[in-house]
Amino acid sequence: MSRRSLSKRHPSLISSLPLTMSRYGLAVSLLSGALFVMPTANAASCKIPKSYYKNVACTANSSYFLATKDSGAPVALLNNKGVSVVDLSRYQKVDVNQLAGGLLPVQRSNRVGYLNMKGREVVPAMYDVLTDSQGWARPVSDGRIVVKKDGKYGVVNTANKIIVPFSAAISDIDEYQNGRARVRKDRAVSWLDKNGKTTSEPNSAANTQSTTKQSSANTSSNVSSSKQSASNRFTTLQPRKQDGKWGFVDDDNVTMITYSFDEARPFSEGLAGVRIGKDWGFVNLGGELVIPFRFANSGVSAGGSYKGQSAFVFTDGKAWIGNLKNGNKMCVDKKGDGVNCS
């Protein structure tokens, strides 16, 4: 199971293409004749600093901005004063939206490596470009990085020491959370600790002490549920906050949609309302942006509701997204078209 990223149908939020601001607070990327519209995590409120660079774009990290050539090739990472902090001119692509643990994924000669914020390539550009749904590189998680070499998954630390040996038997590895990572070998699921050793599931009986028969029964039930959910992709996704941003996790608390949002609503009828900056949009269970960020947070009244639900939550195929001057509610359907709330 791989973590999903926010995308617009097909292109990923975690993209290396150059981004510029559009009138709706979205990032527009143009390269090789292909136009993609993608939200950046702080697009709605981003203020690009003054600098000597011609093309500067916002990123998902409000502390950094990306300077590019007209062709879209990266030039430098800038701070909020417009000063270059990392030279990127020798790389084909960078993925600022995957900046984590102080390391930035980069591509050189179609190989993936990681730079620190001093511009030093602490993980050499020697790994395969990934082709899974979350982009061409994974972020650092708990000091570990999931990478591929010669088509085989493995895990290295931030000093490029191999933690989990590369193996063709591994079909996927999740990012580490709370010191554990879930690994799939064909249909079998196991858990590894930060040293690459097999460990128990986070919700298994080995991590629970029973004090009564009732708690023992509950533990057995939890283990059973845990095993069942491990064999399924997910039952649903739940919003979760981490480092000040919201994302979505599955039943095993594995991140499925990255922590990119300033606010998030629970999934309802297959869609979840999410806010970036001052505007709301909707994503599906696959992490795809299906209704763009165009609904102002200020358009709804605090504490208001529609059919018992807060704003940006679907009920009977409609979601309340704002109020008219006469006090009537405005709603949209699952295509994002305006409809009568009544």
| 21-27 contacts at long range (C-beta below 8 A, 24 or more positions apart) | 21/46, 21/48, 21/57, 21/58, 24/279, 24/292, 24/293, 24/294, 25/276, 25/277, 25/278, 25/279, 25/293, 26/292, 26/293, 27/57, 27/58
Name the one residue in this structure whose structure tokens are 């939020």: 13
Structure tokens at 264: 């998030």
Whole-structure pTM over 0.75, yes or no? no
Q: Are 249 and 237 in contact (CB under 8 A)?
A: yes
Which residues, at least 6 apart from 235, have a Cβ–Cβ distance to it below 8 Å? 229, 250, 251
In whole angstroms, give the CA distance from residue 184 to residue 132.
Answer: 15
Length of the chain: 342
Q: Are 315 and 306 in contact (CB under 8 A)?
A: yes
Helix (H) or strand (E) holding 229: helix 213-231
Return per-residue pLDDT of the chain as tens, 342 residues.
444 444 433 333 333 333 333 333 333 333 333 323 333 334 445 788 999 898 998 887 778 899 999 888 999 999 989 999 999 999 999 988 888 888 999 999 999 999 998 899 999 999 999 987 668 999 998 899 999 999 999 999 999 999 999 999 998 898 888 888 889 887 788 899 989 898 877 655 445 443 344 444 444 444 444 444 333 334 578 899 888 899 988 877 778 888 889 999 998 888 999 999 889 999 988 788 889 888 988 888 766 788 788 899 998 899 999 887 777 888 999 988 888 887
